[in-house]
Amino acid sequence: MSRNLILGTFLSSLVLLAALLSFVWTPYDYAALNIPDKLRPPNAQHWFGTDHFGRDMFSMIMVGARTSIAVALVAVGIGVGFGVPLGLTAAARKGSWWDEVIMRGNDLVFAFPSLVIAILITAVFGAGAINAIIAIGIFNIPVFARITRGAALSLWEREFILAARVSGKGAARISTEHILPNVANLLIVQGTIQFSLGILAEAGLSYVGLGAQPPTPSWGRMLADAQTMVSFAPHLALIPGLAIIVTVLGLNLLGDGLRDWLDPRIRVART
Amino acid sequence: MLRYTLKRLLSLIISLAVASVVIFAVIEVVPGDPASFMLGVNAQPDTLAALRAELGLDVSRVQRYFNWVGGMLTGDFGTSYTYRTPVSQMIADRLWVSLPLALFALTLSTLIAFPSGIYAAARRGKPGDLTVMGATQLGIAVPNFWFAMMLVLIFAINLRWFNAGGFAGWENGLWTGLHSLTLPAIALALPQAAILARVMRSSLLDILGEDFMRTARAKGLSRRQALWRHGVRNALIPVLTIIGLQFSFLLAGSIIIEQVFYLPGLGRLVFQAISARDLIVVESVVMLLVFAVITVNFLVDLAYAAVDPRLRSRT
Amino acid sequence: MSLLQIKNLSLSIHGVPILKQVDLSIAPGQIVAVTGESGSGKSMTALAVMQLLPNGAEASGAIRLHDVDVLNRPEAEMCALRGASIGMVFQEPMTALNPVKTIGDQVMETILIHKAMPPAQARTRAEEVLTRVGLPPDRFPLSRYPHELSGGQRQRVVIAMAIALRPKLLIADEPTTALDVTTQAQILDLLKGLVSEYGMGLLIITHDLAVVADMADRITVMRHGEVVESGATQHLLRHMRHPYTRMLFEASGHQVILPDTVEPRPLLQVAQVVRDYRLPRTGLLGPQRHHRAVDGVSFTLNKGERLGLVGESGCGKSTLTRAILGLEEVQSGEIRLDGQPVFTGHRPNLAVRRKMQVVFQDPYGSFNPRHRVARLVTEPFHLLERPPTGTERQDRIAEMLTAVGLSPDDSNKYIHEFSGGQRQRIAIARALIIRPQLILFDEAVSALDVSVRAQILDLLVDLCATYDLTYLFISHDLSVVRTITDRVLVMQSGRIVEQGETEQVFSDPQHRYTQSLIAAAPQLPEIGQGAA
């Protein structure tokens, strides 16, 4: 196990544990106002200090982790759920009109950054966490479709696929039995990376008001609230920012570590 | 080469057409009539009809779509529902902030990423490489708007080198304009530079393993000469793709960053329009952003051909 | 005095010993061949002379070029030496050239990097050497890019780069392994010509003993990083002292005797088959061009017959193989197996597929790395209406593994636990398990070392006796086809130009192309006259 993998696993599980723990326990009620105690810097009672309503920042960060993880996870799920089958079928019918449609469709979606999708959705349906999920999820679809197709195409050229075809297996069966298991590692690594990008995107959308709406706590909105107070209460901005950085850094290190850890095995198996 | 260019051009036009249909269709889903929204509930039927005619809402959907697209082709983006001014004028004003900001950031990001990526690849596994890689790992994890807030805190509030926000305008000279875009551009560029540097490094490392690099060494080129003369140009091919993709992230990012710095760009315009339900403005700004992304990717495709002779001769 | 002198060279990479006490010397104008099977350390010896070793390599001993100690030279001085005093040619011409630079620039670079002459003169020199290697500028302008040249032409460019400054020593690492026989003969002639013309020393690394015997003044045989035997070519061929050397030569020319065939009746009938591929258009409105990969091919393969199909790369033999297997549909003509068409109504015919199996070239790419041998070997059961299950399945797996010389216990292992030769045995087991009427061997022994190849050929003969095999053996290797088939087809540019009894065709070829193929193939010398 590499240092990346250990550190990445540690940071990611730290955030995940905080999110899970927040369902049953937080130091304070995250929504409880306590105006006399407002804008306290980090101290023994409030580890991360309090915000302008005197709410406990530590509790808010814990609950905010929930929002971030939920949004990013569902968005990755959308990307994998639609993108992987699209990529597999496109590769199985390389050069056909279906392949062409999927690839051009991918290019088209890439022209709509997730923020732009979120703007469109919000303009039509109004703001909310679901918007963020859909916007990030849609943007994830071509990412997974493209990476699956690319890896699958090179596998389709391999002789073990030809052998399976000679054994009478059809494209669907070959895709599930031979292609998918051999691209799984790649998808796990990419999934980790998209997960971290999803956390960043959710924070950005919430910051500009296109993501989770009050009272759902979210790191991005905590930062938006902090903006006018950053000069006299910098911890309001520092702490949610560091929470995002730790999460994203952890996931990226995990992704890199997984890549190094999974890759040599594939290579050993090949040579 | 001509055939390649024309093929790309054709796919550019198709993409734009499909994108415009998608955007138009999404906005059409919105319930309610902009004219009655603008005039309020007590409007007279004949005033309403007149306004509908003025806004071009009294024709069929298909007709409206072609009017919209046709208008955009001639520079007429319609009339804002809330301000009653031409949308094209509103966009043009804001574009002079957003576009320079994105380009400024792209330049910065490339200028930072290329040398650090090449430096790291040339010193693979050594302390220099590890430092660069550690920095980029951190750079990727930092949300740009938070980074922007920290820049404001340090350089505007504490050191007072820059203004905390607002845009001085180009009419006071290029330098003044650039000065007020500097912090936003840095905030946008650094996280993107981290990604680009990593791509540059890994792309170069892939190339370093190629047979022709060994051929170059066998000719008597030193490691460094081989890297510069044979590595960099080949490594550019995947890097160009990322630069193309980054442009769309930079545009999207600039919308968010404009919020941090209170810059009067497209981002501010679009959020005001959303809260005022000024849908024609939203529609046009989104179309413009998509147009920019598709066009940049078209240019990247052409740049490929310039870098890679194999594409050129494939006609 | 010798030009290159290697003494007691030992090399380890990350502590793993690669070379042990290697001795070698080359005189000016001399061709020295280093040969051996994969893992023998022959390429590492060449790279050690160039000092282009992988990271973590540690060498001891001495490598002297004239009076210069190469091993302990600082890197900057090595750069001055490479390209100027030592030139090198590599195995893979398709990837050895930078795809984004013109061939002229790449040849001139050798000259300019050593500041040997001003650019204008360097250009003239580049034109001269390219002409010398057979690429005159009037037909191959300096502005060409590598992708506009064939493999053989690219190898000529690589040679031009290596000899542009007339180095004293030229190292060629498997320079013709990736090339067709006729191209191989031309490149070898070119190298021989250059050696005698410039008085260079040539160190040629090759696994092909026929090439060795044909070219070299001296031979060094290596195994597991050690020199097992070396000597002047004629002397060494007559008096092989080391058993490994003898084994290598015998395995290279390995002959088998095929059992008699059963009563002939037509099994595979290929009639007037045509397969076109679309090519990209040239110019904006150029006509749609086609490449006719297979052009009106007809032949019959009888039951029990062992048929060879030979031809150079691009002749259409792979396309024909895929068409027979039903992997690709043909535009016109018909392929029938046992009377039934391979394709019916644009779909491969399952009843026909059941009667055919294939063994591919690459022992490493032929198996899904995530499955165990039992599952890999039984994949063709998918074709059967009632695939065997339970103990019957186990018995079939065990029988097949035993038949190909493996153990039934191997069925629980993953494929990476096996060597290349063992994998090819597993591939044969997979092909045999449904007892197909026809097996296609698509370059099935081409990637194997000679000793392993000889064992696989013996296995095929055994299987012919046990299972009455009928096969189509596709290969570019004439010597293998000559011994392992009864009849042979010669294919050129999509057509069968000659067919007949194998021995007849090889000893008395009728078509000009067949004659040129056979003439170009380097001959193994008669060996063993003086051997003890």
> Which has the closest alpha carbon to B163: B145, B185, B182?
B182
Q: In the structure encoding, which two tokens stand for residue B62, read together?
A: 């298909």
- For C174-245, where are the E strands, in sequence order? 201-205, 218-223, 226-232
Residue C202: beta bridge partners? Answer: C31, C170
The label of the residue with tokens 């600082």 reads C74
The confidence score (pLDDT) of residue B139 equals 92
Distances from the Cα of C333 to the Cαs of C326, C351, C355, C484, in angstroms? 13, 20, 21, 29
Work out the minimum CA distance from A160 to partner chain C, whole angstroms: 4
Average pLDDT over residues A72-97: 93
Label residue A213 left, alpha or beta by phi (over 0 means left) and psi (-120 to 50 means alpha): beta
Q: In the structure encoding, which two tokens stand for residue C21, read together?
A: 């006490």
More confident residue, B174 or A182: A182
In this prediction, residue C286 has a pLDDT band, given cuts at 50, 70 and 90, of low
User: C330 — phi, psi (to 5°)?
Assistant: -95, 155
Residues on chain B touching A243 (C-beta within 8 angstroms): none
Average pLDDT over residues C213-223: 93
Task: Express as a percent the part of chain C with pLDDT over 90.
Answer: 70
User: C99 — phi, psi (to 5°)?
Assistant: -70, -20
Interchain pair B211, C52: CB under 8 A:
no
State the Cα–Cα distance between residues A216 and A205, nearest whole angstrom. Answer: 14
Interface size A-B, in CB pairs within 8 Å, comes to 125
Average pLDDT over residues C96-114: 93
The confidence score (pLDDT) of residue B127 equals 93
Interface size B-C, in CB pairs within 8 Å, comes to 87
Q: Which of C81, C114, C284 sits opposite B6 (nearest CB)?
A: C284
Q: Which of B78-82, B109-113, C188-192 has the lowest mean pLDDT?
A: B78-82
Alpha-helical regions (H) of chain A: 3-24, 57-92, 97-110, 114-125, 129-156, 159-166, 171-174, 180-207, 219-226, 235-270
pLDDT at B32 over 70: no
pLDDT at C128 over 70: yes
> Which has the closest alpha carbon to C214: C180, C242, C237, C243?
C237
Rg (CA), chain C: 26
Q: Which of B51-55, C181-185, C379-383 has the lowest mean pLDDT?
A: B51-55
Q: Which residue of A has its CA nearest to B251?
A: A113
HEC profile for C251-300? HHCCCCCCCCCCCCCEEEEEEEEEEEEEECCCCCCCCCEEEEEEEEEEEE
Average pLDDT over residues C25-32: 94
Residues on chain C touching A166 (C-beta within 8 angstroms): 325-327, 353, 356-358, 380
The confidence score (pLDDT) of residue C528 equals 53
The confidence score (pLDDT) of residue C433 equals 94
State the Cα–Cα distance between residues B226 and B183, nearest whole angstrom. Answer: 37
Please state, rounded to an integer, the average pLDDT across all residues of chain A: 87
Residues on chain A touching B102 (C-beta within 8 angstroms): none
pLDDT at C253 over 60: yes
Tally Cβ neighbours within 10 Å of residue C324. 25
In the 8-state DSSP scheme, what is residue A254?
Answer: H
Q: Which of A168, A181, A269 sits opposite C416 (nearest CB)?
A: A269
State the Cα–Cα distance between residues A87 and C146, nearest whole angstrom. Answer: 33
Q: Which of A107, A223, A246 sits opposite B146 (nearest CB)?
A: A223
A244 inside 8 A of chain B by CB: yes
Which tens digit of pLDDT belongs to each residue from B83-137?
Answer: 888 888 889 888 888 889 998 999 999 999 999 999 999 988 889 999 999 999 9
Q: Which of residues 121-180 of A touch C (CB under 8 A)?
A: 158-160, 162-169, 178
State the Cα–Cα distance between residues A149 and A99, nearest whole angstrom. Answer: 9
B234 inside 8 A of chain C by CB: yes
Average pLDDT over residues C111-130: 93
Please state, rounded to an integer, the average pLDDT across all residues of chain C: 90
pLDDT at A176 over 70: yes
Distances from the Cα of C328 to the Cαs of A5, C18, C274, C351, C488, in angstroms? 45, 45, 12, 17, 24
The confidence score (pLDDT) of residue B178 equals 85
Q: Dihedral sign for Cα C189, C190, C195, C200, please.
A: negative
Residues on chain C touching A160 (C-beta within 8 angstroms): 365-368
Q: Which residue of C has its CA nearest to A180?
A: C370
Q: Are A167 and C379 contacting, i.e. CB atoms less than 8 angstroms apart?
A: yes
Q: Is the peptide bond before C119 cis (omega within 30 degrees of 0)?
A: no
Which tens digit of pLDDT belongs to each residue from A235-259?
Answer: 888 999 999 999 999 999 998 888 8
The alpha carbon of residue B26 and the mean position of all alpha carbons in its chain are separated, in whole angstroms, by 22
The alpha carbon of residue C14 and the mean position of all alpha carbons in its chain are separated, in whole angstroms, by 30
Work out the minimum CA distance from A161 to partner chain B, whole angstroms: 27
Residue C302: beta bridge partners? Answer: C266
Q: Which of C325, C364, C370 sits opposite A166 (nearest CB)?
A: C325
State the Cα–Cα distance between residues C402 and C379, nearest whole angstrom. Answer: 18
pLDDT at B163 over 70: yes
Interchain pair A113, B19: CB under 8 A:
no
Choosing among B126, B212, B229, B315, which should be mutated to test the C contact, i.e. which has the most C CBs within 10 A? B212
pLDDT at A266 over 50: no
pLDDT at C155 over 90: yes
Choosing among B2, B203, B219, which should be mutated to test the C contact, i.e. which has the most C CBs within 10 A? B219
The confidence score (pLDDT) of residue C161 equals 95
Chains that touch C (3 or more CB pairs under 8 A): A, B
C104 inside 8 A of chain B by CB: no
pTM comes to 0.87
Average pLDDT over residues A139-145: 93
Interchain pair B222, C75: CB under 8 A:
yes
Highest-confidence segment of A224-238, B200-214, B240-254, C273-287: B200-214
The confidence score (pLDDT) of residue B313 equals 67
pLDDT at C532 over 70: no
Chains that touch A (3 or more CB pairs under 8 A): B, C
More confident residue, A234 or C425: C425
The label of the residue with tokens 């991918």 reads A106
C82 inside 8 A of chain B by CB: yes
Q: Which of C350, C368, C415 sits opposite A168 (nearest CB)?
A: C350
Average pLDDT over residues A152-181: 91
Q: Which residue of A has its CA nearest to C371?
A: A178
Residues on chain A touching B23 (C-beta within 8 angstroms): 120
pLDDT at A31 over 90: no
C40: helix, strand or coil:
coil
Q: Are C445 and C415 contacting, i.e. CB atoms less than 8 angstroms apart?
A: no
Q: In the structure encoding, which two tokens stand for residue C197, read together?
A: 């013309």
Choosing among A4, A107, A109, A116, which should be mutated to test the B contact, i.e. which has the most B CBs within 10 A? A116
Residues on chain C touching A271 (C-beta within 8 angstroms): 364, 416
Triad C314, C315, C319: Cα angle to 5°: 80
Interface size A-C, in CB pairs within 8 Å, comes to 66
Choosing among A96, A159, A263, which should be mutated to test the C contact, i.e. which has the most C CBs within 10 A? A159
The confidence score (pLDDT) of residue C529 equals 45
Q: Are strands C31-35 and C201-205 parallel, antiparallel or unpaired?
A: parallel
Interchain pair A166, C350: CB under 8 A:
no
C256 inside 8 A of chain A by CB: no
A39: enclosing H helix or E strand: none
The confidence score (pLDDT) of residue C1 equals 66
State the Cα–Cα distance between residues B96 and B114, nearest whole angstrom. Answer: 27
State the Cα–Cα distance between residues B35 and A48, nearest whole angstrom. Answer: 50
The confidence score (pLDDT) of residue A270 equals 33
Domains (ranges, CATH) in chain A? Answer: 66-247 (1.10.3720.10)
**DSSP secondary structure string, C58-100?**
EEEEEEEETTEESTT--HHHHHHHBTTTEEEE-S-TTTSS-TT
Q: Quick one: CA torsion of C470, C472, C477, C480, rounded to 10 degrees?
A: 10
State the Cα–Cα distance between residues C240 and C252, nearest whole angstrom. Answer: 15
